[in-house]
Amino acid sequence: MFTVRIEGVEELKRSLSDIGQKQLPYATALAITRVAKSVEQRLLADMSSAFKPASPYVAHSTFSTAATKQNLTATIGLKDIKPAGGTAPAVLLKEHFTGGLRGNKPFEKAIASLGGLPSGWRAIPGSGIKLDAYGNPSRREIGEMLGALRSHLQIYKGRGKRMMLTGYFIVPVGAPTHLHPGIYKRLDRAAIKAMFIFVQSARYRKVIDFERNAVEVVAREFQPTFDAAFRDAIRSAR
């Protein structure tokens, strides 16, 4: 998160006329709020550039608060409220701002609870799972996969000697098989598709310098925004 706070208002207030003193807190709060919104818009633009194409989740992941005459402070950041069936943006996206290893996603925690994903490992989409327009694995397929694995559901396909089991199965880390550790779906005797592949780490590089960009916006916009807000406040004073 980034906080915009203006200090020295009381010193400035003493140098103004009575009307100016009365309108100063309002103009300052208005300027802080407008600049905070500009910082949020810059954050969204940076995220849209980094995550192409940006999903609705990303587009609605930021927030900014409004300053008041009593509290000349505004805060900008990523929402830390968990959406239904998902992860809070402040948790899911933080590695793009800091770099380093990412945390476990909800479906990875579910796989780990089944004994399939050791600590320190991550699951990345395989060639067999559908991706949406934003490159994310299909929630419907993830739900179907986890449900089948939890219930050990397998489906008999074919007849007589050709009858065989189809369905999802986990190849654990260290298993003596030519298949890479992960989750697979058997379609028939000859066809297996990889739903998720297990990897030992998933490291992100820092792609958004939020604090530096926010400081640039504040340095560029606050003074002219405040001047305009103060002039309007004096003009409209009664």
Q: For 57-113, how does the pLDDT look when each residue is reduced to its tens digit (9 = 90+)?
A: 888 899 999 999 899 999 999 998 877 767 788 887 887 888 776 767 888 888 888
Q: Are residues 187 and 107 located together in one domain of the fold?
A: yes
Q: Are residues 196 and 212 located together in one domain of the fold?
A: no
Q: Are residues 22 and 46 located together in one domain of the fold?
A: yes
Q: Are residues 159 and 210 located together in one domain of the fold?
A: no
Q: Is residue 226 part of a domain?
A: yes
Q: Is residue 72 part of a domain?
A: yes
Nearest residue to 215 (alpha-carbon basis) of 37, 4, 9: 4
User: How far, in whole angstroms, is CA 33 from its chain's centroid?
Assistant: 23
Whole-angstrom CA distances from 93 to 52, 84, 105, 154, 190 are 14, 17, 11, 36, 39
127-139 mean pLDDT = 84
Domain membership of residue 110 as a residue range: 103-201
Q: Are residues 175 and 120 located together in one domain of the fold?
A: yes
Q: Are residues 194 and 107 located together in one domain of the fold?
A: yes
Q: Is residue 94 part of a domain?
A: no
134-147 mean pLDDT = 86
Q: What is the mean pLDDT of the chain?
A: 82
Q: Are residues 19 and 74 located together in one domain of the fold?
A: yes
- pLDDT one-digit tens code per residue, 3-40: 877 766 666 655 566 666 678 888 899 999 999 999 99
Q: Are residues 228 and 149 located together in one domain of the fold?
A: no
Q: What does the angle CA 17 – CA 18 – CA 19 come to, to the nearest 5 degrees?
A: 90
Q: Is residue 91 part of a domain?
A: no
Highest mean pLDDT out of 52-61, 140-149, 163-172: 140-149
Q: Are residues 123 and 158 located together in one domain of the fold?
A: yes
83-89 contacts at long range (C-beta below 8 A, 24 or more positions apart): 83/57, 85/139, 86/57, 89/57, 89/58, 89/61, 89/62
Q: Is residue 98 part of a domain?
A: no
Q: Evaluate if residue 54 carries a pLDDT over 70.
A: yes
The DSSP bridge pattern shows strands 122-125 and 192-199 to be antiparallel
Q: Is residue 96 part of a domain?
A: no
Q: How many domains does the chain have?
A: 2
Q: Are residues 192 and 136 located together in one domain of the fold?
A: yes
pLDDT of residue 215: 93
Nearest residue to 136 (alpha-carbon basis) of 200, 78, 196, 46: 196
Largest CA distance in the chain: 97
Q: Are residues 128 and 167 located together in one domain of the fold?
A: yes
Q: Evaluate if residue 163 carries a pLDDT over 50.
A: no
pLDDT of residue 150: 85
Q: Are residues 148 and 62 located together in one domain of the fold?
A: no
- pLDDT one-digit tens code per residue, 213-226: 999 999 999 999 99
Q: Is residue 47 part of a domain?
A: yes
Q: Is residue 97 part of a domain?
A: no
pTM for the structure as a whole? 0.67
Omega within 30 of 0 (cis) for the link into 106: no
